[in-house]
């Protein structure tokens, strides 16, 4: 039609070829959302596992996503460098991932919160970022995990102080300017060994495809017949050091 | 932390100030999704009303969205020219709208399809487009409504021919190269007056805020006390001509 | 060749259709360049006329440029809204204009400075900016002319104080925090009527095509035969008010 | 002033950090420019040396440019990956380089063409492209040198055929569809050994900083006192293979 010229106002938004694409989604107003749904403080196991379950389903659907890292109300998804998903169009990639994740979050809610009604509409923002080298991709995930650690340590201290009877104001004043050793000391005083807290809280969650041995059937002798299968799974590991990446070289391989 | 430099790879993506922003979302693989959920052909009243209901809720939430137009698996949302929603950052705007809409779509599914299970994950793509003048914004919506008309007329003919016993191939051959009058003739032969089909199918759906008279209470005499209130509602109107826009000057006013 | 894939790293950089494009160029390190070439302070008539002459030649060459405004070491060029110059590719437009201007500046140098050698390499930066409405385009040029006025008034005062024997430090201190009336007073004390300074210094320079009457030939009676011809010319006028634009409606017409 | 808001329409255009930036400039309408200035066909030694001289001066001025490659009417400039030149703003980088080059081209014209007047205004377009890895940067320059070879071989054949008395049409027909060996055969028939043509024509020109031994002074015995100095120079070498890059590891080092 004579109106079709309006399509020419759409701008090409291709992401640079041969770079790693990270899509980070983050819950919108999740401070409020967590309150409304009475998430446990500072970490709600169910809420985090809901996020992880959505991320796993997302990796099942989108084969070009090779790794994901989640913490708090956010998740980062890594596309392999050579991905041609939607010809690398930024708004396609960003919108499809965040839409898919949002739908899943609502669909899976009842599984993780069988007794809680979904009262308000969960919503996530999203952005795409390109990284030119694996080194910088590693630094990206280190950034998120350091953030996880710092926030989690602070929040754990804070809520333990609250539980111990302090006001929010008092807890803030006590923590102001403290470093890691002092925070550990505070936790120790309150009877908490930080390193014994669940790894999911301390390390966040890594989702990726892994080779797993699977029992396909049992033969006549009753012996299991096994096969290697690729399966999406979640672990809570340090991703700042080299160990994890050395154990999973396929993630960052070209 | 020393990793924070990775944030510098994020690119500023502000949309041009003083322009109209349209965000169009479109169902991903809805050909398949419609099949899987046995949507009526060519138009499923419930599916369309689910979309409209989501759009209405979206306008209730985001005050800067002044108008929306929906047809088939797509919806276009218009931000007023002066909007400073998320400082006009494209990926924020696009991701938040599509995420919100997707969550709503799942949450409202049961209301519109009480007997149908949601079998697969609904997913939408989204993009933002800027338009520098109201004239071009008008042309944008005309473009979508002309598209609605052309597709709907074709699809109505097609599925009526199928119902009348033709194969898909035969129906396609009959329709190839036909213009509006010929299609109307075909429909007439099959006993359909195109203009009597539901306006929602022929015109699509317009969502916007309107002044409505509301009965606040009844006074002692039993007379209703009315008040003008702004309410989001949906109509199925021609938006190509001037009439609609003249009747609702506030939509495109600065 | 197998290397051609590298071209895919070039990014599309089309400027929004139906918007006014302004390309502003600005002398790089012209503080230094002006010193090295002993430009008169605060305004060097020859230097400004060289700039104007380059701008005129640029308008002669590029028909889509409908207006230009220059002050100090900068020039702004306005493309009409409908221009399809290099399909509106930003880097083509920016680079070609600034390259053309730079070449001209060197080529014309001798004409305006017959006794001065060009000692260092004149260099300009450039950028393209889109404006969605004529109102904002007008505001753009008002911005530049207000800037011209403020800088020129300050600089005129400053250099007059220097001429009158003040040190740079003293001159700065005298002018700190002064408003227009106080500056006029200072100039008056030094025997200068600001409004009698050359309009080119006070108003900057406007370059555009204008209809001029031209004598084509003389007929037998010796009477001149005239014809209207379009010619690029320069004027020094107020462009903040409406008068100029009303007198030249073709500049901002669609 | 109240007009300053117009500055908010400028868009941030930073190039991705930690990537190699290539700025390629290319003569505008140089087909015509070469004709107007009667450049020798297919290669004008003086014209190419003028280009090289401008490129050398450019590297002297802009320390972040580590390498340049020129052929025909084009030159590519490579910025090191870590460059923060103008905070990596694309339009600053593109405009400043092309402006500087253009000014130089005019300023140096007389040196290379003492007997030819500059009749028209030399003008170059320019663009910036980012490359995420050294491998792709190498491929970029290979792309340009392969292009140099293919064009030069074709053009050499073409103009030799013309010189031998063929019409342009006949020459084109002879060359249509020929491969390298056939072209070499044609040249051989015309008494030309392609490999004995000047390296500048066959390989293009590489400009970069190199350590050179320089005689600083002579001591009492009359022996020269030498020192290593970094100097910008031009060579005509193969840059597709590894040899050149191995000999100059500092160019592509981080
Ligand atoms: N109680 C509780 N709150 C959580 C949990 N995970 C995340 N949150 C809350 C705490 C934070 O206030 C919020 C995440 O911080 P953000 O910086 O993303 O802020 P928020 O989402 O409120 O705003 P935004 O729209 O992202 O700018 O989510 C949890 O497991 N338990
Ligand atoms: N049966 C039925 N199908 C519908 C209805 N509304 C939309 N659809 C289907 C028909 C079309 O195949 C599809 C919309 O066309 P699109 O061009 O958006 O294609 P699709 O979503 O399959 O692919 P995409 O991911 O958008 O490229 O949705 C409906 O009311 N009833
Ligand atoms: N003496 C003299 N100087 C002038 C004249 N026109 C411009 N200039 C000088 C004064 C300013 O220092 C300079 C223009 O200011 P800018 O803000 O453009 O600074 P500059 O070009 O030095 O740096 P830039 O590379 O643009 O950031 O040019 C003139 O007519 N006479
Ligand atoms: N005679 C002669 N011509 C040359 C020489 N170097 C370049 N040229 C001419 C031949 C080509 O027609 C032209 C370069 O080709 P381009 O593809 O850059 O085309 P042109 O500059 O005409 O158009 P453009 O504005 O870049 O699209 O320059 C030379 O050394 N001698
Ligand atoms: O961690 P981010 O990137 O979300 O940082 P932020 O401070 O939330 O900023 P924004 O979401 O506005 O980019
Ligand atoms: O109508 P659109 O813009 O969705 O057009 P399309 O043909 O679906 O193209 P795409 O979604 O790939 O932009
Ligand atoms: O007047 P401008 O836009 O040149 O402003 P500036 O302060 O010189 O900034 P820049 O040239 O760095 O955009
Ligand atoms: O070699 P290039 O990139 O200049 O290729 P082109 O065919 O000249 O195209 P354009 O200059 O229009 O990008
Ligand atoms: Mg955020
Ligand atoms: Mg959040
Ligand atoms: Mg968060
Ligand atoms: Mg589409
Ligand atoms: Mg669709
Ligand atoms: Mg659709
Ligand atoms: Mg500047
Ligand atoms: Mg300057
Ligand atoms: Mg300036
Ligand atoms: Mg070109
Ligand atoms: Mg050229
Ligand atoms: Mg060329």
Domain assignment of residue A179, yes or no:
no
pLDDT in tens, A69-78: 999 999 999 9
Q: Is the pLDDT of residue A254 over 90?
A: no
Q: Which ligand is nearest to the CA of C96?
A: 4
- Average pLDDT of span C97-121: 98
pLDDT of B226: 93
Predicted confidence band of residue B227 (pLDDT cuts 50, 70, 90):
very high
**C61 falls in which pLDDT band (50, 70, 90)?**
very high
Distance between CA atoms of residues B177 and B194, nearest Å:
19
Quote the number of domains for chain D.
2
pLDDT digits (tens, 9 = 90+) for A165-181: 999 999 999 999 999 99
> What six digits make up the tokens of D128?
């910036």
Q: C177 and C243 share a domain? A: no
The protein residue with its alpha carbon nearest to ligand 3, atom 26, reads C28
The yes-or-no verdict on residue B254 having pLDDT over 80 is no
pLDDT per residue as tens, chain D (254 positions):
999 999 999 999 999 999 999 999 999 999 999 999 999 999 999 999 999 999 999 999 999 999 999 999 999 999 999 999 999 999 999 999 999 999 999 999 999 999 999 999 999 999 999 999 999 999 999 999 999 999 999 999 999 999 999 999 999 999 999 999 999 999 999 999 999 999 999 999 999 999 999 999 999 999 999 999 999 999 999 999 999 999 999 999 97
Closest ligand 2 atom to residue B47 Cα is: 30
C10 CB burial (10 A radius; 0-12, 13-18, 19+): middle
Q: How many other CB atoms sit within 10 Å of the CB of residue B172?
A: 12
Is residue B239 assigned to a domain?
Answer: no
In angstroms, the separation between the Cα of residue C101 and the nearest Cα of chain B is 28
Inside any domain, residue D254: no
Quick: pLDDT tens for A85-128.
Answer: 999 999 999 999 999 999 999 999 999 999 999 999 999 999 99
Closest CA to D96 of D56, D123, D126, D64: D126
In this structure, are C36 and C123 located in the same domain? yes
* Domain match, C147 and C45 both: yes
Calculate what percentage of chain B has a pLDDT beyond 70: 100
CB contacts under 8 A, D 11-30 vs B, are: 11-12, 14, 16-17
C218 assigned to some structural domain: yes
Q: Determine, yes or no, domain membership for B167.
A: no
- What average pLDDT does this structure show over C28-40? 98
Query: Is D52 found in the same domain as D73?
Result: yes
Residue D252 placed within a domain:
no
For ligand 15, the distance from its centroid to the CA atom of residue D128, given in whole angstroms, is 20
Assess whether C73 and C198 both reside in one domain: yes
Question: Which contacts of B177-182 are long-range, i.e. CB under 8 A and separated by 24 or more positions?
Answer: B180/B153
On average, the pLDDT of chain B sits at 97
Query: Is the domain of D139 the same as that of D209?
Result: no
| B122 CB within 8 Å of a chain A CB | yes
The verdict on residue A117 lying in a domain is: yes
Q: Rounded mean pLDDT of chain C?
A: 97
Q: Is B198 within 8 Å of chain D by CB?
A: no
Is residue C94 located within the same domain as residue C189? Answer: yes
pLDDT digits (tens, 9 = 90+) for B199-210: 999 999 999 999
Q: Please say whether the beta carbons of B141 and B68 come within 8 A.
A: no
- By the 10 Å C-beta count (0-12 exposed, 13-18 middle, 19+ buried), C159 is classed as middle
Q: What is the pLDDT of residues A8-29, one digit of tens each?
A: 999 999 999 999 999 999 999 9
> Chains C, D: CB contacts under 8 A, how many?
150
In 3D space, the residue among C94, C91, C106 whose CA is nearest the CA of residue C54 turns out to be: C106
Q: What is this model's ipTM?
A: 0.96
Tens of pLDDT, residue by residue over C177-198, are 999 999 999 999 999 999 999 9
Answer yes or no: do C137 and C240 share one domain. no
Which domain does D119 fall in, by range? Answer: 13-203
User: What confidence tens digit (pLDDT) does each residue in B30-61 have?
Assistant: 999 999 999 999 999 999 999 999 999 999 99
- Same domain for C59 and C117, yes or no, is yes
For position D139, which CATH number holds? 3.30.70.3000
- Read off the pLDDT of residues C212-234 as tens digits, 9 standing for 90 and up: 999 999 999 999 999 999 999 99
Q: For A171, left (φ over 0), alpha (ψ -120 to 50), or beta?
A: alpha
Q: What local confidence, expressed as pLDDT, does residue C186 receive?
A: 93
- Contacting chains of B (3 CB pairs or more, <8 Å) are A, C, D
In a domain, A134, yes or no: yes
pLDDT single digits (tens) C146-160: 999 999 999 999 999
Residues D143 and D230 in one domain: no
| In a shared domain, residues C192 and C130 | yes
Structure tokens at D169: 């049409």
């Amino acid at each position: 039609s004579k109106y079709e010229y309006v399509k020419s106002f759409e701008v090409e938004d291709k992401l640079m070829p041969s770079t790693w694409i990270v899509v980070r989604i983050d819950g919108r107003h999740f401070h409020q959302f967590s309150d409304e749904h009475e998430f446990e403080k500072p970490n709600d196991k169910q809420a985090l596992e809901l996020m992880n379950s959505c991320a796993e389903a997302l990796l099942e659907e989108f084969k070009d996503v090779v790794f994901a890292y989640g913490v708090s109300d956010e998740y980062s998804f890594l596309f392999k460098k050579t991905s041609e998903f939607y010809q690398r169009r930024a708004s396609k990639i960003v919108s499809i991932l965040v839409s898919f994740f949002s739908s899943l979050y609502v669909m899976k809610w009842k599984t993780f919160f069988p007794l809680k009604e979904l009262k308000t509409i969960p919503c996530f923002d999203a952005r795409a970022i390109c990284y030119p080298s694996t080194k910088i991709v590693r630094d990206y995930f280190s950034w998120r995990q350091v953030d996880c650690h710092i926030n989690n340590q602070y929040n754990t201290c804070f809520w333990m102080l609250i539980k111990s009877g302090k006001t929010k104001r008092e807890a803030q004043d006590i923590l102001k300017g403290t470093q890691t050793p002092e925070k550990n000391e505070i936790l120790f005083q309150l009877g908490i060994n930080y390193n014994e807290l669940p790894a999911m809280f301390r390390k966040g969650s890594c989702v990726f495809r892994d080779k797993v041995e699977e029992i396909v059937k049992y033969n006549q002798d009753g012996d299991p017949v096994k096969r290697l299968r690729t399966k999406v799974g979640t672990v809570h590991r340090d991703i700042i050091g080299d160990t994890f990446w050395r154990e999973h070289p396929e993630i960052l391989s070209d």
